[in-house]
Amino acid sequence: MTPPGTSKHRGKIVDLEKRKIYPGYIEVKGGKIVTVREDHSITEQGYLCPGFVDAHVHIESSMLTPPEFARIAVIHGTVATVSDPHEIANVLGIEGVRYMQKLAAQTPCKIHFGIPSCVPATNFETAGATLGPEAIEELCADPSLLYLSEMMNFPGVIHRDPEVMKKIEIAKKHGKHIDGHAPGLRGEDLKSYVSAGIETDHECFQIDEAREKIGLGQKILIREGSAAKNFKELWPLLNEHPGKCMFCSDDKHPDELLEGHINNLCARAVAKGVTAFDALRAACLNPVQHYGLRSGLMRPGDPADFIRLHDLTGFKVEETWIDGKCVAKGGKSLLPRSKSPRANKFHTSPKKPEDFAVPAAGGKIRIIEAIDGQIVTGAAEAEATVRDGTAVADPAHDILKIAVVNRYADKPPAVAFVRGVGLKRGAIASSVAHDCHNIVAVGASDAELARAVNLLVANEGGIAVAADGREDKVLPLPVAGLMSDGYAEDVADGYADLTREAKELGSKLHAPFMTLSFLALLVIPALKLSDLGLFDGTKFAFVPVFTGGAGGDS
């Protein structure tokens, strides 16, 4: 007989530490696991194992607040996240971090926030806040903030910039883990970066790069998000270095979150021939042990955070339990819907079509090349199409205008050119634009660019589509211009609708708005655009739009 106040869960126990599966049961009392026992008389089907962990995610990029993100994630067996509030910190500073912590406390899902290390990410764009060493010291004093989030200023680390190194030293003093962010970094520069104390990397897009980083002692987070998809390249690491790998999404848009999360990566890994033990080790065990997370690993004395899986091939989640309470069952969340208070910073005025004009100059135009499924971009050159003394978009050759509008002050837009977005007409815009979250827009004409941008100005943030001959549409994101204050399903429907609209205008990108958001991400090579001008991420310097023009702003 089960003692009063104790629940017993029967099935096939998946012991990740002993790499053993056996029939048995776990007893739970007071939110803790009391007993895990092998019992061959038990015939119940289903596999009981620790819950999944997303080892690096920006919840803001789901366009959902923490309670709504969690309400959907638990359906897929996610019991915990390692979440970097870097995005909202770039808008609202420490106030944004505290906002996320306050909302995360409303959900049982264990959202572990880090301390944003790079706000702003660079000095080559305008952010809404700055977190210097004093702010890092204040945040490091909070024991619930477990780590210094991705140190994306890798040139600053390599060259031992005093302020960058001060932040790292503060984190070390407080015993915090230090996350990395160094796409494509190799050789002596990588050695210098890792030797500063950088422990992880989630930006690898080539397996030899990942192997080199593991060889220097880093752990690799295999990322599969809505835009950056690296699983196909990196999955062999799960066989080669199972103790050095974790799974993460980094950025997960709401429609894709409804479809699946870390569970999908486990299924894909096993389909590739990775053992279920090693797939689950990356999904459950390694992140908990590396970061010292509050979530349990299904051992006596641990918090009762576990899932019931139908099988160990498709990884269909039948139940999710957190602290001994069932939070999802049969594909449905048992957590309540949640609406959140608004917090924002938006100070710019509507723009006119002429604000997006690019006066013709000598030479060719530099072109940002968007790459589907990657946050890195290419850099190319082409002859400009010139009309009335200005360079214009050329949709027939997939050369569109891209603009970044400072949303924190009323300034002229920065304008350049991009290839790979694919619009034949119209414009798309977003205030989710890593890392500073100014408005980024791509369009086939100046008039349509202005319309798309002005939809976001009017709504103080969101994503939008504008095109001649059809209704303009916008999904408002009034929480820091990054998140909706409403329900996940509604946000997912709105996002999916706008994605369809963008594709109907000609975009072939899998996730047009997610790719759009990374075209302003200066810390990722090669060519990007900030509100201050066209930026060469390989040189870490501004370049002119025209190859024969003077350097600086566009």
pLDDT in tens, 269-283: 999 999 999 999 999
Question: What's the pLDDT at 514?
Answer: 86
User: Does residue 334 carry a pLDDT above 90?
Assistant: yes
Q: Are 512 and 522 in contact (CB under 8 A)?
A: no
Mean pLDDT of 338-343: 90
SS3 per-residue string spanning 34-83:
EEEEECCCCCCCCEEEECEEEEEECHHHHCCCHHHHHHHHHHHCEEEEEE
Task: Report residue 553's pLDDT band, with 50, 70 and 90 as the boundaries.
Answer: very low
Task: Report residue 4's pLDDT band, with 50, 70 and 90 as the boundaries.
Answer: low
Mean pLDDT of 104-128: 95
Residue indicated by tokens 């002429």: 354
Q: Cα-Cα-Cα-Cα dihedral of 335, 336, 341, 347, to 10°? A: 70
Mean pLDDT of 63-82: 98
The model's pLDDT over 369-415, given as tens digits with 9 standing for 90+, comes to 999 878 889 999 999 999 999 999 999 999 999 999 999 999 999 99
Residue with the larger pLDDT of the pair 511 and 257:
257
Instruction: Name residue 443's beta-bridge partners.
Output: 401, 427
Q: Are 440 and 488 in contact (CB under 8 A)?
A: no
Q: Which of 62, 126, 28, 416 minimizes the C-alpha distance to 254? A: 62
Beta strands 358-359 and 390-392, pairing class: antiparallel
Question: What's the pLDDT at 419?
Answer: 98
Residues 6+ apart with CB under 8 A from 194: 180, 213, 216, 217, 218
User: What does the alpha-carbon distance between residue 540 and residue 530 come to, in Å, rounded to a whole number?
Assistant: 12
Lowest mean pLDDT among 11-15, 27-31, 339-343, 419-423: 339-343
Task: Report residue 554's pLDDT band, with 50, 70 and 90 as the boundaries.
Answer: very low
If 0-12 CB within 10 Å is exposed, 13-18 middle and 19+ buried, where does residue 341 land?
Answer: exposed
Beta strands 390-392 and 385-387, pairing class: antiparallel
Q: Are 328 and 75 in contact (CB under 8 A)?
A: yes
User: Does residue 2 carry a pLDDT above 70?
Assistant: no
- Cβ atoms within 10 Å of 142's Cβ, excluding its own: 14
The model's pLDDT over 449-500, given as tens digits with 9 standing for 90+, comes to 999 999 999 999 999 999 999 999 999 999 999 999 999 999 999 999 999 9
Lowest mean pLDDT among 155-159, 523-527, 530-534: 523-527
Question: What's the pLDDT at 227?
Answer: 73
- Supply the pTM of this predicted model: 0.92
Give me the count of residues in the chain: 554
Percent of the chain with pLDDT over 70: 98
Q: Are 124 and 535 in contact (CB under 8 A)?
A: yes
Q: How many CA atoms lie within 13 A of 466 on its CB side?
A: 21
> Which amino acid is it at 283?
A
User: What does the alpha-carbon distance between residue 246 and residue 239 come to, in Å, rounded to a whole number?
Assistant: 12
- Cβ atoms within 10 Å of 295's Cβ, excluding its own: 24
Q: What's the CA angle centered on 301, arms 13 and 264, to 5 degrees?
A: 45
Beta strands 365-369 and 414-419, pairing class: parallel
- What mean pLDDT value characterizes the chain? 95
Q: Are 525 and 538 in contact (CB under 8 A)?
A: yes
User: Does residue 1 carry a pLDDT above 80?
Assistant: no
Mean pLDDT of 123-148: 96
Mean pLDDT of 14-29: 97
Complete domains list, the chain, with CATH = 51-293 (3.20.20.140), 353-542 (no CATH)
Instruction: Name residue 405's beta-bridge partners.
Output: 439
Q: Which of 64, 487, 115, 440 minimizes the C-alpha distance to 251? A: 64
User: What does the alpha-carbon distance between residue 86 and residue 352 come to, in Å, rounded to a whole number?
Assistant: 31
User: What does the alpha-carbon distance between residue 543 and residue 526 come to, in Å, rounded to a whole number?
Assistant: 12
User: What does the alpha-carbon distance between residue 146 and residue 82 come to, in Å, rounded to a whole number?
Assistant: 9
Question: What's the pLDDT at 549?
Answer: 58
User: What does the alpha-carbon distance between residue 327 and residue 107 come to, in Å, rounded to a whole number?
Assistant: 10
Q: Which of 521, 516, 540, 520 minimizes the C-alpha distance to 462? A: 516
User: Does residue 184 carry a pLDDT above 50?
Assistant: yes
The DSSP H or E segment spanning 325 is strand 325-329
